[in-house]
Amino acid sequence: MRKAPTILHLDMDAFYASAEQASKPSLRGKAVVVGGLGPRGVVATASYEARVFGVHSAMPMGQARRLAPNAAYLVPRFGFYKAISEQVMRLLRELSPLVEPLSLDEAFVDLEAGGTAWDEASARLAGAKLRADIRAVTGLTGSVGLAASKMLAKIASEQAKPDGLVVIEPGTERALLGPMSVRILPGVGPATGDHLRRAGIHTVDEIVEAGEDELVRLLGKAHGHGLYAMALAYDERPVVAERETKSVSVEDTYDVDIHDRVRVSLEVQRLADRCVRRLRGAGLSGRTIVLKVRRYDFSTLTRSETLRGPTDDPAVVREAALRLLEGVDSTGGVRLLGVGVSGLADFTQEDLFAQAAGERVESVAEEEVDEVAVPEVTAAAERRWVAGHDVRHAEYGHGWVQGSGLGRVTVRFETPDSEPGRVRTFLVEDPALEPAEPLPLTEEVPGAQASASSVPASLPKSRSGNGGGAATSRP
């Protein structure tokens, strides 16, 4: 019996860049690149207008600037993206209890488990409804793939981009996969792909022709069996609603190598505090403290220390990270530092009175670290005005930073529902200018979601203005 295409894969279209275009009217329809803007920055997301010039994610930012010198280059606003992602994930959970997020902008949904779909027609309707609801609630577009398995649903959503819906009908899977590159299959990365290519295997059809025994000989038993099954369109992986968090970590890459050992120590303490804030935000503690150091020559060292019991005490994590740093040779400079906690639990085993005392010490220690470390990290005052981030002026209202330097900051004043705004320049110390929170992309209109759901083929007007076009549905 053929399985119905009730596994849905949602992938938001150029998510970070589209969110920036939606919030900044002057950037709609323009090339936008989001990522780290320093000499070692990389592209996180490029708008479709920027992709025309060859810019893509994970590309070095310097290369992107050469390809698209006139694009808008913005620093990510992860809090803003996370808020939008939470809206989208809520919509997915209305469809089914089995939602497996892969990132802020991507997730699998088992529609059959939620009773939302049971055949091709009902799955197609659910996908169209979801896309309409996402546009109504967030003002953004997402592409939807529907198939009988996770692998095929993800392939379908790639075919649907941008702003479309594709259903892989039962019985067509083998014909669809056959001419595709082996890299389309889960588990085939650059190394495995090169290994297969050297054996003369370039397409999925050629995997099937080679046979299972040959795959096992080339790749080993587990990988060979699994890959051969995928090539035959067999993918039994379930949609998993909850993934166990194995570790919590933070890291920073520095524009200029750090040579000063004191500065390195301060950075490690700052990262330890950030890591603990993230750990506490998730309601977790951990036993193993991990330090990551990437040196000037790109060699990466990882050191760890396991405590007697799980902790979420920032002083304990700071001290452990500094002990680990003592055993690392940073001669020549450090380009990346990271602090992580693993061996997670949802409780601590420390003495309650000691922990309470530690919290009193912590507030002082954090202030002392901030007072010393921040001037080191933010060498010039204008660095607080980050390109793309929100500001508010006492006279001109809400805007965003276009750029800063030489003691001045340039701001464009506009909001998601305004016309493209005017640009003004201020001194970085201007007391009338201050950082601000992002504005919502859409107005909260009662019944908007219900309206979108009732007429899935007629999508409400979006503020994104990034071209996506009308909804498309392909067989």
CB distance 135 to 141 below 8 Å: yes
Q: Which of 266, 264, 262 is nearest to 335 (CA)?
A: 264
Q: Which residue carries 């389309």 as its tokens? A: 184
Q: Which DSSP helix (H) or strand (E) runs through 217?
A: helix 212-219
How far out from the chain centre does Cα 38 lie? 19
Q: Are 133 and 451 in contact (CB under 8 A)?
A: no
106 is a catalytic site residue: yes
Handedness of CA 359, 360, 361, 366 (dihedral sign): positive
**Residue 221 identity:** K
Backbone torsions φ then ψ of 269, nearest 5 degrees: -65, -45
CB 353 within 8 A of CB 291: no
Residue-wise DSSP of 148-183: SSHHHHHHHHHHH-SSEEEE--TT-HHHHHTTSBGG
Phi, psi of 410, rounded to the nearest 5 degrees: -105, 130
Which of the following is catalytic: 20, 49, 100, 106?
A: 106
Look at residues 383, 389, 385, 387 and name the one whose alpha carbon lies nearest to residue 80: 389
> In this structure, what token pair is assigned to residue 132?
């309409």
| Tokens at 358, concatenated | 């530690």
Q: What is residue 77's three-state secondary structure?
A: coil
DSSP category for residue 185: S
What are the CA-CA distances from residue 140 to residues 18, 127, 183, 459, 466 (Å)?
A: 7, 15, 29, 11, 9
Cβ distance 460 to 136 under 8 Å?
yes
Catalytic site residues?
Answer: 106
